Structures are given as structure tokens and as C-alpha cells.
Structure 1
């Protein structure tokens, strides 16, 4: 497959769009916002100051509400790739739009990052992730998987600015991707918060408590008796190093503790059976624990007692039953009396002797 560009005999004009916008910013915006940006950018490239162009014209040309145009400029301003310059203090939506050069933004950010790395006495918090570093980081499988898992937890896709902040945490707090996933999961399920700034505060708090690894976090939560620690230990025992539990899976694990009154030890014992199946899942573990619950097994020691019972049942001999009398089936040959029943033994002997004499 290839892409070929033809030329025209008459120059009708072009609008050059920077690849950084196409690669980084366009995928994070909806179609309407992209259309507003492109049309406004075209007007900026035309450079005809005599044209009276405003947000109302853009809304009419794109056949969209004026509110969508204003929302688009708010969105692009939040991404720091445009600036709104007010024209009139009376009309809040009457303003000019300045398109920032994305290449220059990249150069500035990249230069600042290189400068920060070259200074030995620079503080970790002064590091700022660049667009180039974000693109390179997305090529690392572990980081790419981290972003995918976070998207699942917060039920949306991370925007580039959020990804950059996450990458900055690695330099600031000396942590790894698994702990970032745990932080997002903790904030989502424990506090019902998805905001990147709130997650940053949680990670900073953990860092102040010398928590920089998943193992240290597990130990910390276990001491506090957090239910989240149970979810984490179960999933780790099942071999799910990156995936976080869903709401349905957490309810099942809650049932083990709240309804069945199982301890963490026996739950982890059930998880050891995951090695016997190629597709371990919570329902499989739930079936094992439900069976143990019916049998009255509550502790790991009860499993040994249950095994001994099963061994004794196998050793007990089966009761010997007396053979049933076999009833002979009578045929027509049994219904008639035998000839021998008419004579006694002496008469039969004489009868045989007489026959033998006659033959001679």
C-alpha cells in the first residue's frame, strides 16, 4: 500500500499542518474541535486582514452551534497550543486566536529538558517531560501497557499532558509503572477520583512514607487493614501483575471475606490452584472457595483434615452382599417328565442288561 500526491496546473493554495498536531493532538480531540482548529488555522495562513472573520462565521461555515466553536477554542487553549486575545471587554466570545508554532514548542521543551538534565544540582521536581520524550516513552512496552491499564481504570483515554505528568513522576519519585497503576486504581476504587493531580498527591504522600514499590505498598495497606490490599494480593497470586480488578470481581472477593468469613491465608491457598488451569479467573477461584464453604472449611488446617477423611473413605472395604439365588429358566424340555423318573435304580439296571443280551 502507498500514498501518492498529484499536483495541479493552477495553484489554488495550501494550508500546511504540522505533523506534531496530527500525531499528538488530533487523536485526543473530537472531530468538531479538529474542524474548528483547521478552519481557523486556514484563515491564519491566508493572512488577509481585510477579511472579517469571527467565531460566528466559523460556526456558520461549519454548520455547527456557536457554543461548539467556543468550546473548541477553550479545549485547544487548555492544551497550550493557542492563545485567545480579547478584542472587546463587552463581548467575552469576541477574541482573536493566536496559533502557537508547535515545532518551536517542541524545541523549547526539548532544550529545557536537556538543560535540566545537564545540571548536577537540579532538583528532581524541576524535570519537565517533552513531546519527543512522550513519543519515545510510548514505544516502551511496559509504559505503553501502563497507559492502557490506566485508561481502563478511569474509563477514558489519557491526554498527552496527563501522560507527560506521569512520566515526570518517574524522575521525581523514583517509582515504576506498576506503582502508578496501583495509585490510579486506589484513587478510583477507594476515593472514586480519576484526576491526575489527586493521583499525584497520593503518590507524593506514599513517597513521603518511603513507599516506592508495589511490595512496600502492600505491606503498608496490610498494616492498615485496607480491603484494597486483599484485591492486590489475590490478583498478584493469580499472576495478574498489571491488570486491576473490576467492580464485579471486587464484589466476589468481598463475598469471600464478608459472607464466607475466609481469611487471607485460605484465599491465597485457593489461588494456588491457578497453576492447574491455562486461563485463571476469579470465577474459578470462587467455585473452589464456595465448595470449601459448603464443606465447612474455614482454615488451611481444615484442608488437611478433609484430605484425611477422603483417604479413610477410600480405605474402607465395600460391604460383601450375599449372592442372590439364581432362578433357572424353564424351557419346554423341563416341562415334560423325564423317562428316568418312571423307574428306580434296580429296574433301570435290569432293563439295560436285557437290552445288551438281545443285541448279542
Structure 2
């Protein structure tokens, strides 16, 4: 009996095949660090010597935290292209599934029973105590029973986004705290959380912490413009992010620019953006620098106009006449008029 083995002395000369399905459909939406873990694990699958490699070693090789490596494996398992199962010696067997086969199997399951199957999944998920508690908490937040479509959406986030029930509750509470309850907005937030690689409560709290300061600044800006009871539009959020993040302007400088809209009948974000862009281009970083410029602007505005050159030339021309001769002519004409 023959045994076959491909031997490569230099690991750099080896090849790791990556399916185009992964590159086209899974890679674009996955967090970058999770892609690194997947590719390194895939490389280990094609090595001739298959030794056990710990998450700690993988983390050091990629410059990541070990907890991030664990999150990556859970993420890819939730995507359905990696399967994790216990093995001997309390290790885990990480199996990389053939993505073409995964896609074909999914396609074959799309039948007329899809809706019925989805309904059964929802019913089964309700038997999970954590999912049931999540539904009850969200119903109290809305003050009404959840619709089947809403429950299906939450179930989708748990299966496709790997969100835990606790993460979904935190996300909804965060949206509700800003007065945003519409599902279209919440869907967008869920996608942002997914793109940020949020899986557990720790990730969610850290993410909310970094964004809470930004929303407090949003509120101050909107309030200064008289929009206390209105949420900013997407375009307004983009402009405020430009001032806060890209320009890195202090909130006091932004509020100073907002104060200049008092002379305008309707506050205008584009007007404020022009002011702040001008200050940013001039390198202003403090409120005092902004205020120091104001008197100079005022002096220019109210400087009286000098007589035009045309008028000055005319006066000079008048002075070229003989004043004494003009007086004699005027006196002679006056006497002639009287005698008449």
C-alpha cells in the first residue's frame, strides 16, 4: 500500500486555496480581524503536519487578543462556513466547510415549506428561556405585543449576526433612549453593530460608550438651534460627524458657529458648515482664537466709505477756477438784473 505526501520545506512557498465565494460574499461584510483568523486557520488546514494550535498562538501571530480569536470562530460558525466541535483532550475541532457545498445545500432547502419552517423556528426559539425573556422585555418597551415579522427579525439577528438576546435588548434600549423606535432606523443600527463586530454585551457596552459622547454633542447642537424635539437627519449627522470627528473641533467652537444663525430666519446646517470649515482652514482650535477674529470682522463691516476718485477729481477741477473773477461776474450780473 502506498502513502502520498506533499513535502514543502519552506512554508512561504505553499499555497492556501481560498474560494471565490468567500472573497465575493463573506469577506466584504466581515470584520477585518475575523478575516485574518479565518485565513490563518484555512492555511493550517492545508499543512502536511496537522498539529494542534491554540487560540493564544493564533492571537500572538496576528497581533490580536485571544478573546477576539474566540469571537472570530463564533462569527464564522454563525455564518455557516465553519463548524466547531469538542475533540479529545478538551481541545476543539475546527472544521472549515466547503462553501460551494454550503450554498448548494441552502439552495436545496428553499422550497414551498420555507414559510412553515420559519414559523416552526420561531416557535422553537420561544422555548428558549432567554429568547422568551427578550421578547417580553421588548414588548414592555414598545407597550404592545410583538408582531411575527418583528420576532422573525430578532431571530435573524441572532442567527446571521450572532447577536445574543442581551445584545439585542441593549441595542433597542440605545435606540429608544434617542427617541428612535422606527424599525427602519433600528435595522440600520443593527447593521452598524454587525459591521463593528459586536457579538457580546461587553462589545456592545464599549461601542455604546464611544458613541454616547457623540450623541450628547448632537443633542447640544440641535438644542442650540431650537431643535430640542427633533432627531437629526442622516445628512445632519454626517455634517456633525465632520465637525466633531474629522475637524476635531471643540463643542464650544461648534456652538459659537451655531449662535451666528440667530440673524437667519431659519437655522441652516450648510451655513454653519461654511463657518466651521473656514475656522478649521484657518487653524482655529480654541474658542478664544475664534473670538479674537470677531472685532476685526466688525471693523471691516462698518468702516465708512471714502469718497470715490471720480468726485475727488471733480473738486480738484473746480479749484482750478479764479474765484475772484467768478465773484465779480456774479456781482455784475446781479446789479444788471436789479436795474432791469
TM-score (ref. length: structure 2)? 0.39
- The structure with the largest alpha-carbon Rg is 1
Q: TM-score, normalised by structure 1?
A: 0.37
Structure with more helix by fraction: 2
